A = this chain, B = another copy of it.
């Protein structure tokens, strides 16, 4: 299996609901350094997994909607805790939509799996990985 990974980041404010979160129930924030890794069994005719430039642009676009925002104000996240693992899934879903929408180019249709990792500090990260059922 081949893969290509690109990195970007975004910076947000949010708060959590639930005793398990302790002081993180207060409004605070985070920098998330994001790795998006794209997997496929065979390279395309150009010898690539995906156009790395378009992958980087798609990741930037996926993060731009959150960047410099207070996630508590976003109706999309109403009633949800925007934990690092939850946000990894959100970015995964946005990149899946970008691939299906053709934003990563024709070659990207060969992508079979993705892994999105959000590093929230030098000691903690979270990830979501899954297959890309393009028929979904």
| Chain A positions near chain B (C-beta within 8 angstroms) | 1-9, 11-14, 16, 18, 20-24, 26-33, 43, 46-49, 51-53, 56, 67-70, 80-86, 88-89, 105, 107, 120-130
Contacts and interface: CB of A to CB of B under 8 A. Distances in A.
Number of copies: 6
Given A4-B85, A20-B105, A128-B1, A122 B33 contact: yes
A30 B31 contact: yes
Contacts of A47: 80-83, 85-86
A62 to B, nearest CB: 15
A8 B123 CA distance: 7
18 contacts: A1-B129, A1-B130, A2-B85, A2-B128, A3-B126, A5-B126, A9-B123, A11-B24, A11-B121, A13-B14, A20-B105, A20-B107, A29-B29, A31-B120, A43-B86, A47-B82, A48-B83, A56-B124
